């Protein structure tokens, strides 16, 4: 099952600080909801074990994540492949940043391809849960950057 998500968020923080954190695996793992464990491999690669619970599918997913297409100070792509809870997933997310006075506007989009038990849940439920998770990630990013 494939689907697309997109959105934007304004972060009250300078563009350079937002960008440097968004391309930092050590920062990014702190923004993932339901993170069970993680491993930073290098400046572009990291792993995350994430607890999932959608409808009757419960368990953990092991994700391998990679930062690509970095164009400082305003663009990057995050690619993730994972498996667990009887499912496999591939996610590609891009963000673009624009300075707006003393804030940064982030426009993002994500493409997901899911198979296995999770894909059998039904598009509306799955998309709704995915939107909730993505919203939590961006809320975490915003609060961490604005409070530091």
pLDDT at 144: 95
The Cα 31–Cα 35 span in angstroms is: 9
* Reported pTM: 0.88
Third-level CATH fold of 2-147: Alpha-D-Glucose-1,6-Bisphosphate; Chain A, domain 4 (3.30.530)
pLDDT digits (tens, 9 = 90+) for 82-132: 998 788 989 999 999 999 999 999 999 999 888 887 666 666 666 777 778
For the chain, what are the domain ranges? 2-147
Alpha helices in the chain (DSSP H): 15-22, 25-29, 123-147
CA torsion, points 38, 40, 43, 44, in degrees to nearest 10? -50
Tell me what the mean pLDDT of segment 47-59 comes to. Answer: 80
Helix (H, G, I), strand (E, B) or coil at 49: strand
pLDDT digits (tens, 9 = 90+) for 24-42: 999 999 999 999 999 999 9
pLDDT at 112: 86
């Amino acid at each position: 099952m494939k689907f697309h998500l997109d959105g934007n968020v304004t972060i009250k923080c300078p563009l350079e600080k937002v960008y440097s954190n968004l391309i930092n695996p050590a920062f990014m793992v702190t923004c993932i909801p339901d993170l069970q464990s993680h491993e930073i491999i290098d400046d572009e690669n990291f792993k995350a074990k994430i607890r999932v619970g959608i409808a009757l599918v419960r368990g953990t997913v092991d994700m391998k994540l990679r930062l690509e297409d970095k164009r400082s100070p305003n663009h990057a792509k995050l690619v993730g492949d994972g498996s667990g809870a009887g499912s496999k997933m591939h996610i590609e997310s891009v963000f673009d940043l624009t300075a707006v006075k003393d804030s940064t506007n982030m426009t993002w989009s994500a493409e997901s391809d899911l198979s296995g038990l999770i894909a059998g849940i039904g598009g509306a439920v799955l998309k709704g849960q995915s939107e909730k998770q993505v919203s939590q990630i961006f809320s975490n990013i915003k609060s961490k950057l604005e409070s530091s």
